[in-house]
Amino acid sequence: MTGGIGWYVHHQGAGHLQRARAVAAHLSRPCTIIGTLAGFETGGAPILDLPDDRPLDGASAFAGLDGEAARPEAFHYAPLRHPGLRRRMALIADWVARTDPALLVVDVSVEVALFARLLSVPTVVVRLAGDRTDRPHCEAFRSASRLLAPFPAELDGPDVPGWVRSKTFHAGFLGGGPPATTQDGQDIVVVFGRGGEGGDLPAIAAAARAVPGRQWHVLGPVSGEGDRPENLHLHGWVSDVGAFVGRAALLVGGAGDGLVALAASHGKRFLCLPEPRAYGEQTVKANALSHLGAAVVRPAFPAAEEWPALVAETLALDPAIMSGLHDVGGLARCAAFLDGLAGDGR
């Protein structure tokens, strides 16, 4: 057996790291998690903690110009004179030289995927939902041995090029876990994740007042001031989101992979409020859920007067459609796929 497997995780949101941890537990080879990991729980896995490479001067570094030097069209992000980015790439190169990895999973970064190819390391590039037919994405996809979609094939977008689709292993949702305590409760559970802006207290309070017969439990960040009705409970960050989801009558939240995976694994009726993401990632996924009849979708947090009808519409969903998207063996199947690629020596 040659080297182990590396798994690069993007800093935006917690889903990338959760995927890495979940699959790593099923791999037959050692797996090193690579990324800017300060403040995140890595579950005891070996890590390579990288310096932050986010813009030093706000969003301007994404514009593509640094003096007379235009950003190469194959890259999304390549600022000049960025010490964090320089050190980051040096550490990745050093790790490759020291460990001789058999495979690197890239979740997600065009630049890391192309850099790994220059380092002669086979890659599996994670392909998220959304319109990713721009040149940088296509070049990263071309450079990879295979692509990995962390969602079921039923949720793939309609405009995915044929060569990209044929190169893709649809792993299903790599999270959610087994539905240990699922029951049809009375609660409405609203979830805001790390990757978004969080909830607005006045809007949430108005929604809870509009549906007073149910207890509202809100997980994640909430900002704003105002009175709370007695049926509204703000929990902030919790360690076991699944426990709340399992007791819910219906689930409200964005279309991030982690939350949709929880809805599927617990077979929950889902009111999906896709959040703005690059390349329309959550919008494409939400539209697919709506088309399947797995969720009710609205483009933004509804006004107070809309909630009674929306709750009724969501409760009328057939939860079997959502639960049918959950593959109980998905993590093991994904791990076997990666172990197989690593063992091929290609």
Sorted by where each begins, the domain ranges of the chain are 5-172+328-344, 187-323
Is the per-residue pLDDT at 67 higher than 70? no
Residue 212: per-residue pLDDT: 98
For 223, phi then psi, to 5°, come to -125, 165
pTM metric for this prediction: 0.90
Is the per-residue pLDDT at 64 higher than 80? no
- For 263, residues 6+ apart whose C-beta sits below 8 A from its C-beta are 176, 245, 251, 270, 295, 322
DSSP letter string over 16-38? HHHHHHHHHTT-SS-EEEEE--T
Question: Which CATH number applies to 5-172+328-344?
Answer: 3.40.50.2000
Is the per-residue pLDDT at 345 higher than 80? no
Residue 101: per-residue pLDDT: 98
What is the chain's mean pLDDT, rounded?
92
Residues 238, 219: Cα–Cα separation, whole Å: 7
Is the per-residue pLDDT at 288 higher than 50? yes
Of the candidates 251, 286, 243, the residue with the CA atom closest to the CA atom of residue 269 = 251
What does the pLDDT average to over 27-52? 92
Worst-scoring range by mean pLDDT, 58-72, 163-177, 181-195? 58-72
Is the per-residue pLDDT at 40 higher than 90? no
Q: Are 5-172+328-344 and 187-323 the same fold in CATH?
A: yes
* Strand ranges for the chain from DSSP E: 5-9, 31-35, 47-49, 65-66, 69-70, 103-107, 123-126, 146-149, 168-170, 187-191, 199-200, 216-219, 222-223, 232-236, 248-253, 269-272, 296-297
- For 189, residues 6+ apart whose C-beta sits below 8 A from its C-beta are 217, 218, 219, 244, 245, 247, 248, 250, 251, 252
| 187-323 to CATH, choices 3.30.390.30, 3.40.50.1970, 3.90.1200.10, 3.40.50.2000 | 3.40.50.2000
Inter-helix orientation angle 15-24/257-265, to 10°: 60
Can you say whether residue 293 is alpha, beta or left, with left for phi > 0 and alpha for psi between -120 and 50 degrees?
A: left
Q: Which residue has the higher pLDDT, 109 or 44?
A: 109
Residue 14: per-residue pLDDT: 74
Element (H, E) at 207: helix 201-210
* Banded pLDDT at 197 (limits 50, 70, 90): confident
Runs of H (alpha helix) within 110-200: 110-118, 135-143, 162-166
Worst-scoring range by mean pLDDT, 12-16, 130-134, 136-140, 231-235? 12-16
pLDDT in tens, 214-266: 999 999 999 999 999 999 999 999 989 999 999 999 999 999 988 999 999 99
Is the per-residue pLDDT at 100 higher than 60? yes
40 Cα distance to chain centroid: 15
Cβ atoms of 289 and 323 within 8 Å: the answer is: no
- Token pair for 320: 């079997």
- H helices, E strands: number in the chain: 12, 17
Residues 320, 340: Cα–Cα separation, whole Å: 33
Is the per-residue pLDDT at 116 higher than 90? yes
Residue 317: per-residue pLDDT: 98
Is the per-residue pLDDT at 58 higher than 70? no
Residue 29: per-residue pLDDT: 95
Distances (CA, A) of 103 to 116, 140, 262: 10, 15, 28
* Banded pLDDT at 346 (limits 50, 70, 90): very low
Residues 315, 47: Cα–Cα separation, whole Å: 43
Q: What is the DSSP letter of 300?
A: S
* Banded pLDDT at 65 (limits 50, 70, 90): low
Is the per-residue pLDDT at 51 higher than 80? yes
pLDDT in tens, 290-320: 999 999 999 999 999 999 999 999 999 999 9
Residues 316, 296: Cα–Cα separation, whole Å: 10
Cβ neighbours around 61 below 10 Å, total = 20
Residue 42: per-residue pLDDT: 83
Is the per-residue pLDDT at 1 higher than 50? no
* Banded pLDDT at 176 (limits 50, 70, 90): low
Share of the chain above pLDDT 90, in %: 82
